[in-house]
Chain A
Amino acid sequence: SQQGEEDPQALSIQEGENATMNCSYKTSINNLQWYRQNSGRGLVHLILIRSNEREKHSGRLRVTLDTSKKSSSLLITASRAADTASYFCATEIFQGAQKLVFGQGTRLTINP
């Protein structure tokens, strides 16, 4: 069962524009994480936001979390061609033990 769902599934923008990706989840969480995956590679952790935080920044990344709506967004400002990748949100849910569950991802293409 997928906990998170990203929207849109695919996004194509021009270099220099901002990219926004959204993630919705179903159950209560303690934290939410965002990851990046280049084609055919492993995932790389970008940022973690805890349930008592509303916004977090890391370089050109801005993540927001709205626990009342069970949603999060990832904003990449001033996009670059190198930002082309798939982006996934992930949450921890408890089923016998804590497990890390990922959404379906957003495929982001930055056009030069």
Chain B
Amino acid sequence: DGGITQSPKYLFRKEGQNVTLSCEQNLNHDAMYWYRQDPGQGLRLIYYSQIVNDFQKGDIAEGYSVSREKKESFPLSVTSAQKNPTAFYLCASSQSTGGYAAFFGQGTRLTVV
């Protein structure tokens, strides 16, 4: 089945620990996105990538990092510099920019313990 897969579904992080959220798509999409969603809120853009080996910071990139070494993969690292990482993280992909629907993964819920 074609789709976009995020893992893990739930993740617990200790204070000061770095963690990596996985996002894989087999849709052959060029564009990929990471969003953060806090309870009852909208989506805020963390990082986005239009092509392999290129990515841009979104509105709330501080404390996060990404890589795009392969077309199908766009992992997000949450570093210790992110002081309030507890949130729901959503990854999305689209065929390209310019009027294509985005497909979303089921999300990763990250909790600091």
Contact = CB atoms under 8 A, between A and B. Distances in A.
Nearest to A10: B40
Given A98-B50, A100-B33, A102-B35, A41 B106 contact: yes
Nearest to A2: B42
A96 B41 contact: no
Interface residues of A, number: 29
B101 to A, nearest CB: 4
A97 B33 CA distance: 12
A112 interface: no
B90 interface: yes
A98 B101 contact: no
Interface string B68-105: 00000000000000000000101010100111011111
B43 interface: yes
Contacts of B48: 97, 99-100
A50 B35 contact: no
A98 B40 CA distance: 26
B42 A103 contact: yes
B58 interface: yes
Interface in B18-68: 31, 33, 35, 40-43, 45, 48, 50, 54, 56, 58-59
Nearest to B91: A42
Given A98-B50, A102-B35, A30 B99 contact: yes
B45 A99 contact: yes
Contacts of B56: 95-97, 99
Nearest 6 interchain pairs by C-beta: A42-B104, A98-B97, A104-B42, A45-B101, A102-B43, A31-B99
13 contacts: A1-B59, A40-B88, A42-B104, A45-B103, A48-B99, A90-B102, A98-B50, A99-B58, A100-B92, A101-B45, A102-B35, A102-B43, A105-B41
